[in-house]
Chain A
Amino acid sequence: MSLKISINNIKVQLSILSLFLVLALSGYSQDGKNLFKANCAACHKIEKKLIGPALLGVEDRWENKENLISWISNSGQYLKDNPGDSYAQDLFKEYNQLQMTAMPLSTAEIESILGYIAAPPEVKTVGPEQEETASAPQDDYTNMWLFSFAIIFIVLISVILSVKASLKRILLELKGEDGLVAIGEINDMDLSTYQQTILWANRNTKWMIVVSIFAFIGILYILWSSIWTIGVYKGYAPEQPIKFSHKIHAGDDGIDCVYCHSGAEKGKTSGIPSVNVCMNCHKGIESGKLYGTEEISKIYDAAGWDSDNQKYIPRNQDPIEWIKIHNLPDHVYFNHSQHVVVGKVDCKECHGDVATFDYPMHQENDLTMGWCIECHRTKDVKMNGNPYYDKLHAQLVEKYKSEGLETFTVNQMGGIECAKCHY
């Protein structure tokens, strides 16, 4: 019995192992870089200490490559077999006697990893300066075009005006002053531009009335519509202390919004994540796609993290002063959890498709009262499945019996009353 079980166990183990090997072999190419990323990068960096030591020059540090390879394959076994290898024993002790996981890698695979470590490809760094130079010319072109068009128009207008004046002068010479009057023209050559304008206006009163009415309405319209934009900061995208890209985090990396903005499910504010949340990932990820280490090091400064020695410096923390983008007036109460948890509203509906927004983050919607109410008037409340609404739903069905409604908007249950948001 026991023998059978153990044989079965071995079978199971073997099959798991083989499956693993097959997966490993089929899933990963022999490429050193990929192998390194898949197997080593969780604990090692090439140039820096992480959980394990920095790997640059690892081959030089070992006496011979065979030892190194057998160490990598199974360091526990190696330590047992070679109690005399003082370098290996010291290394073990230096890293808090934390054994490296045995790696089911072939020698060839290890070789290729070592090859990658010895000669890593250059990290492409795109500095912020390059970014700016790439985007700056576009702005300049627009301005330049506008500027040149304006000059051309001014030249054209002045040419036409001078031609008109010359023609008139010729007419005056040809017909004389009386002749001009006879054909319904006035000699205004001696008058100033202002006088000429007045003269023209006096002669074209009907036209002037029409123009002034339009101008008046136009000005009113501009004033009116500009009043409505006071305090509306749609598109507000201030510079932030860290050039944080939502596109990279929420888009490329697919991190869920509430992983960082955890308050959205609990309280009224969604909250800007505290630095320790950033550090969950950025302990390992020291260099970003766009700005290299420049921006990420600001997190380390805030958290008091010494990335060289991989430890926190006590009492050396300095919070990050973000600029708030979505500001609601003081006299309104808005609660995220009400909308996210109870209303099951997707973040996108108010904040836009943040996963596509690069730095700087901007405000996608008006966030005006009208904008709020619009939604409260049209969206149905998700009452189904929430016992809180059971009784209310039945009452509302009764109330709106004549209209035969089954689902109800926020408005229909009193959701746009003043004291729902203002107190």
Chain B
Amino acid sequence: MNNSRQYWQSVEQLDNNEEFVAKNSDEFQEELPLDKFLEKEELSTSSTSRRDFLKFVGFSVTAATLAACEAPVMKSIPYVIKPEEITPGIANYYASAYYDGFDFAPILVKTREGRPIHIEGNKQSKLSNGGVNTRVNSSLLSLYDEARVRNPRINGEETKWSKVDKEVKASLATAKTVRVLTHSIASPSTQAAIDLFASKLGTEEAPVNFKHVTYDESSSAGIINANKNYFGKAVIPNYNFDKANIIVSFGADFLTTWLNANQYATAYGIHRSPKDGMMSRHYQFEANFSLTGTNADIRGAVKPNEIGLAVIDLYNTVAKLTGGTSVKGAKYDDDNNVGAKIKNAAKDLLANKGASLVVCGSNDVATQELINGINQMIGSYSSTIEIDNPLNIRKANDIDFINLVKEMNSGAVDTLFIYGVNPVYSAPADLAFKAALAKVKTSVSFSTFADETASATTVLAPDNHYFENWNDYTPLNGSVYMAQPVIRPLFSKTAAHQGTRQAQESLLKFVKVKTSFYDFMKENWTATILPNQSKYSSLDTLWNNTVHDGFAEFTPAPVPMTLEMTVAPEASVSASNVIKNSKATGMVAELYTETNMGIGNQANNPWLQELPNVITKVTWDNYVAMNPEDCRTEGYATNYGQQLPASLVNVTIGGSTMKLPVIATPGQKMGSVSIALGYGRTHAGRVVEQGDMLAADGVTKTIGANVFPGVSTKTGVFNYYAEVKIENANEEYPVGLAQTHFTEMDRKIVNETSIVTFIKGKNSYNPDPTVVDAYGVTQKIENLDLWAAQDIKNGHRWGMTIDLSKCIGCNACVTSCHSENNVPVVGKDEVRRNRIMSWLRIDRYFSSDMTKANSGDTGIIDMYAEMEVPSAYPEAVHQPVMCQQCNHAPCETVCPVAATTHSNEGLNQMTYNRCIGTRYCANNCPYKVRRFNWFNYVGDSKFTDVNPSQSDLARMVLNPDVVVRARGVMEKCSFCVQRIQTGKLDAKKEGRTVRDGEVESACASVCPTNAIQFGDLNDNQTKVKQTSDDERSYHLLDEVGTQPNVFYLTKVRNIDQERIPAGLGHGVAHATTHGDSHDAKHEDQGHDSHEVEAEHTDEHSSH
């Protein structure tokens, strides 16, 4: 009988063995997490029956329904005296400046009803042109950090300010040696306050030994010392990346972390697009695959300790070409053709003499001396480098700090003030700073947090947040930037707490100068700044203009100096020092500052912790970055996901061992690894306690591990690489990856070409995609439509262009979007389930050795399998992806409740209050940009410690113009519709049309390289219209026919080879099957009826 035929669900069922039968007897085969529900004792022992429970549920539902019918009583409390500038509902913007010892940025703070809710760049400042990196725009959240200290402390006990003043004054009265330890002071008034403080110490009979020691946690002392040796000026010069045709960087991540990265990224972006006249060429030689490395046209991998040897190589090549004398070099490990690349770089540099720039991130003095030598040979000092315009945000010479610690250890320091730095966390282990600190009689920290240092000092005199302070900065000569308070101190003196006090004020109070820092600044400006400029006649005009604009520029830019090389060291001496210092045995680890976390001072900022690493897309952790080839050799995991953990290793640096996961990072120099600094904070707040790692004490939970102690000091400067021992711990470790695939698999996702191909015209690198229809006729994509055209010709049509040539992938847009649109933080566990909520993500793709063109005899399955694997030293591209606002949106057609609809302005609208959460739209979205609210992130206890909106304090960061989404609804990029509506309304009220640039999405407004343009596509005058008409412009997945309002501009690499973009070529996409199985060896030429092809003459395809 046919009916008796048996079907098995699985092989196990067929076998029907005992284990299977036992398992199958339960309704749920996997173990249910009942313990979690029943962990409370009263629940498991409760007599509440199921029926009772249902009764309660019924009753409470009814009660809730009835209660909901009652009018909620809402209070509306107007001001007693309304401040003139505040109108409820209208944002105020204040110009200010950010400086934390690491980053400097001119910023614009958006406040609503008196509370700061968003940071943008100050577009008027030429220094950064409105670009702010992700660390700066995330610093907003630290204002509302619950971990901020609200009371001064003495020996860890909370106390009153008067007691602190008394304690410190008493200590100063008897102290013989007083030290002030700060990060580089770029503020003239703060410097004046420290000077005044020093002058008030001691008496004539008993003078006090005072010294102000600067300590930069990310040191650049190598450059400072090299310039001291070379020019007699211990400074960091100003670098003009915008004037450089050829940029060669040896391990300097100048786009995000090196020196004044905000300034450099903006300047770099100016010449990265082939349409803007000159396109710069960028060589990068480094060990760690940095963000700057991904943007380089040509990259070479060099071991971190051998960077100096590569520099010698370039020095010699340039010297040879110019007829100079070369120095003795040494062989370095070269498996990436670095030698040849350096030769090309040397030729390019000399061909662009005076318009080239060589920079180096190494902190080795001798290496930097050689860099100076190269820069001199290529004529940089007259154009791209201004040695007479020193950068004031990095001034520290590491030897001062090393000597200070020695002094402290000897017990000679009586009173120590620590401002803006966290040396207990960040000082190299061989200095043993914490032990030295304990020998100081009175140590005072001005930290806003009870961080590692502040909780080890005898006195903690908490500073205000920088949003609550007056301050001034001169990052470079000839300008002064103002930081103004944008909110009254959140913790001013109340019954609940003693409050915070600006550090400068505290310092002055300790020497009985009772002036507010505001008055002090004005006095200082009258005395020093006003007389040194001629633009403003009185302090009032100078001051008011600076407060309004955020900065004042007066003296003309300094004239590049003529070089007087009185003390220039012999290049051969430098070279032999380089060779000496480069010796290392075994595995070498580069200890680098990472784009998101920097030096770790914002470790308690969940926005930054959840921000995916720019290369590996790892969140909530630091890790050992190792080349995948090395990983395979050592047997470490190379693929990660929800089910696929990473391998843990024991890393021994110096004397200490820590556990860290290994992440396969293509591009990492083989035989070396990289580990990010800035992680492993123990005293930062609740967020870092969410980590999966343990600190050295074995109890405290941390996010990642701290490798600052591994920095060595044996050459008198901090050395950011170390010999390490890496052993397999044979343990697994779950990592939260925001992107688990690596390559584009020969699809046109990031359309990338070379300058050589680009010049040949649009058809050779960006042909319009076509489709062969059911009748065999080749059609343009837009001719084949399932739907009627949207009415988008009238009025506005909002659109965006993203120039992939300019986009550096820096993540600034991502955090700006989070801040603008109240995007929740979900924590590592949810990230691992692919539930990260970012509306805007940056996809990163590595190149693969296998391409369609060179597949040769490889069968199609093997070919695609190999395409999934990135090269050992690949190129990488970044692509910001947000809702593409398709005019034929696949999501709209599948929504059963019409919660997502199209607007006549081209927006794909998401209506949260209609959404019932079927998630059909997300499934039907080809770009995967829709995000589902799996939880009530603002209420669920799982997110209490990670999601800022759960604390009363941090909730103030929410943008009141954007709804905080409820559980169970979809959300996605809205094109910042709240900004569009505001811009339109302003224009209507003033009776004019919308100006170009007036409406800008949050991502576009912070972009340091202006890669993102936003505006009205129906207005021919707008930048976005002009860029969308560019020949490089294309739609992401154009062949799907979604007709997006987001345009991408082809990435052009400035290399001399021809490069046909991926996805071009006959037989590229074989989406559908032919019925019979593909023969792996069969050279498949056939076309299916709906196959995508390019209408171009393809001279490079393999057939």
Binding site for B on A (CB under 8 A): 230-231, 233, 236, 238, 263, 266-269, 271-277, 302-304, 317-324, 327, 329-331, 333, 335, 337-338, 341-342, 385-392, 395-396, 399, 413-414, 417-420, 422-423
Contact = CB atoms under 8 A, between A and B. Distances in A.
Given A324-B76, A335-B981, 15 more contacts: A238-B71, A268-B88, A271-B78, A274-B81, A277-B82, A321-B75, A321-B77, A322-B76, A327-B72, A335-B985, A341-B989, A387-B992, A395-B793, A419-B907, A423-B977
A37 B963 CA distance: 54
A423 B974 contact: yes
Given A269-B88, A386-B991, A423 B978 contact: yes
B157 interface: no
Nearest to B911: A418
Contact of B794 (A236, A388, A396): A396
Given A387-B993, A419-B974, A423-B978, A338 B988 contact: yes
Contacts of B981: 333, 335, 420, 423
B69 interface: yes
Contact of B912 (A238, A420, A422): A422
30 contacts: A230-B68, A236-B71, A263-B89, A267-B87, A271-B78, A271-B87, A272-B76, A274-B82, A276-B79, A276-B80, A277-B82, A319-B77, A320-B78, A321-B77, A323-B73, A324-B74, A338-B985, A385-B991, A387-B991, A387-B992, A392-B795, A395-B793, A396-B794, A399-B791, A414-B795, A414-B903, A414-B904, A417-B901, A422-B963, A423-B978
Interface centre among A273, A302, A324, A385 (most CB of B within 10 A): A324
Contacts of A419: 903, 907, 909-911, 974, 977
Query: For this complex, into which size category does the number of interface residues on chain B fall?
Result: 35 or more
Contacts of B90: 266-267
B760 to A, nearest CB: 39
Interface in B891-924: 901, 903-905, 907, 909-914
A236 B901 CA distance: 34
A191 B794 CA distance: 79
Contacts of B994: 388
Interface of B: 68-69, 71-82, 87-90, 791, 793-795, 901, 903-905, 907, 909-914, 961-963, 974, 977-978, 981, 984-985, 987-989, 991-994
Contact of A269 (B79, B89, B909): B89
Contacts of B795: 392, 395, 413-414
A399 B913 CA distance: 32
Contacts of B68: 230-231
A417 B794 contact: no
A338 B984 CA distance: 10
A284 B962 CA distance: 43
B822 to A, nearest CB: 11
Nearest to A317: B80
A148 to B, nearest CB: 32
Contact of A418 (B89, B901, B988): B901
A268 B985 CA distance: 11
A389 B918 CA distance: 39
Given A387-B991, A419-B911, A423-B978, A272 B78 contact: yes
Contacts of A320: 77-78
A53 to B, nearest CB: 28
Nearest to B992: A387
A335 B795 CA distance: 21
Contact of A337 (B79, B910, B985): B985
Contact of B989 (A331, A337, A399): A337
A386 B985 CA distance: 12
B978 A418 contact: no
Contacts of B74: 323-324, 327
Nearest to B979: A423
A418 B963 contact: no
Q: Is the interface of A mostly helix, strand, loop or mixed?
A: loop
Given A392-B795, A419-B907, A323 B75 contact: yes
B911 A422 contact: yes
Contacts of B911: 418-419, 422
B901 A324 contact: no
A123 to B, nearest CB: 29
Contacts of B907: 419
Contact of A318 (B73, B80, B910): B80
A391 B993 contact: yes
Contacts of A266: 87, 89-90
Contacts of A387: 991-993
A7 B827 CA distance: 90
Contacts of A330: 963
B89 A268 contact: yes
Nearest to B907: A419
Nearest to A262: B87
Nearest to A388: B988
A277 B82 CA distance: 9
Contacts of B977: 419, 423
Query: What are the nearest 3 A-B pairs in CB distance?
Result: A267-B89, A419-B909, A268-B89
Contacts of A341: 988-989
Contact of A417 (B89, B904, B988): B904
Nearest to A241: B75
Contacts of A342: 985, 988-989
Nearest to A267: B89
B547 to A, nearest CB: 23
Given A269-B89, A273-B78, A233 B71 contact: yes
Nearest to A335: B985
Nearest to A266: B87
A139 to B, nearest CB: 21
A417 B974 CA distance: 14
Nearest to B905: A414
A29 B77 CA distance: 46
Contacts of A321: 75-77
A333 B76 contact: no
A386 B82 contact: no
Nearest to A337: B989
A322 B77 contact: yes
Contacts of A388: 984, 987-988, 991-994
A313 to B, nearest CB: 12
Nearest to A391: B993
Given A266-B87, A413-B795, A323 B76 contact: yes
A351 B791 CA distance: 35
B909 A417 contact: yes
A391 to B, nearest CB: 7
Contacts of A391: 993
A233 B803 CA distance: 51
A75 B60 CA distance: 77
Contacts of A414: 795, 903-905
Nearest to B987: A388
B970 to A, nearest CB: 13
B833 to A, nearest CB: 27
Contacts of B903: 414, 417-420
A396 B795 CA distance: 9
B89 A274 contact: no
A418 B77 contact: no
Contacts of A272: 76, 78
Interface centre among B72, B987, B989, B992 (most CB of A within 10 A): B989
Contacts of A389: 988
A302 B89 contact: no
Nearest to A392: B795
Contacts of B81: 274-276, 303, 317
A97 B320 CA distance: 92
Contacts of A267: 87-90
A257 B297 CA distance: 64
Contacts of A420: 903, 981
Contacts of B791: 399
Contact of B79 (A319, A324, A396): A319
Nearest to B975: A419
B991 A331 contact: no
